[in-house]
C-alpha cells in the first residue's frame, strides 16, 4: 500500500476517505478533529481512536490554541461543510498543514473498511 505524504499549504486542502485511512495507519498520522458535535461521531467509526478529538463547531474557536500549528490536522464532520469552515479558521490562525475530509464521515462510511 502506498504512503500518504501530507503537504503544507496556505489554503484548506481536501483529503479523500481512502487517503485519510492510509495516513491514520502511518507513524506520522495527523490530529483528527471531529467538529460534528455528534455523540457517536467519527471516533466511533474508526478502528483506532488515535489522535481523534471531538469538539463541537460551536466551541471550536476557543480550542484553537490547544493544538500545535506545525502538527498536521484533518478536520471532519458529517458531510464536510462544518469541517471546511473549521479548517479555514485553522489556516487563518497560521496552521501550516490543514485538511478537510471530502464528503465528511458519510464518505468515510461509504469508502473505507474502518
Give per-residue pLDDT as tens, 73-85.
999 998 989 999 9
Predicted confidence at residue 114, as pLDDT, reads 55
The mean per-residue pLDDT over the stretch 92-97 comes to 96
Return the half-sphere exposure (C-beta side, CA atoms, 13 A cut-off) of residue 108.
24
Predicted structure pTM score: 0.88
Burial classification of residue 14, based on how many CB atoms lie within 10 Å of its CB (0-12 exposed, 13-18 middle, 19 or more buried):
middle
DSSP of 17-52? HHHHHHHHTSTTPPEEEE-S--TT-GGGGSS--TTE
Three-class secondary structure of residue 104 per DSSP: helix
Domain 13-111: which topology?
A: Oxidized Rhodanese; domain 1 (3.40.250)
Instruction: Tell me the domain boundaries of the chain.
Output: 13-111
Amino acid at each position: 500500500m502506498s504512503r500518504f505524504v501530507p503537504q503544507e499549504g496556505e489554503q484548506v486542502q481536501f483529503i479523500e476517505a481512502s487517503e485519510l485511512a492510509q495516513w491514520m495507519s502511518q507513524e506520522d498520522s495527523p490530529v483528527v478533529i471531529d467538529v460534528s458535535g455528534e455523540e457517536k461521531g467519527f471516533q466511533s467509526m474508526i478502528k483506532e481512536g488515535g489522535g481523534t478529538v471531538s469538539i463541537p463547531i460551536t466551541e471550536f474557536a476557543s480550542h484553537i490554541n490547544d493544538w500545535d500549528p506545525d502538527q498536521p490536522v484533518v478536520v471532519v464532520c458529517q458531510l464536510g461543510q462544518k469541517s471546511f469552515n473549521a479548517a479555514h479558521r485553522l489556516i487563518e490562525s497560521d496552521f501550516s498543514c490543514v485538511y478537510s475530509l471530502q464528503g465528511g464521515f458519510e464518505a468515510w462510511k461509504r469508502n473505507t473498511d474502518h
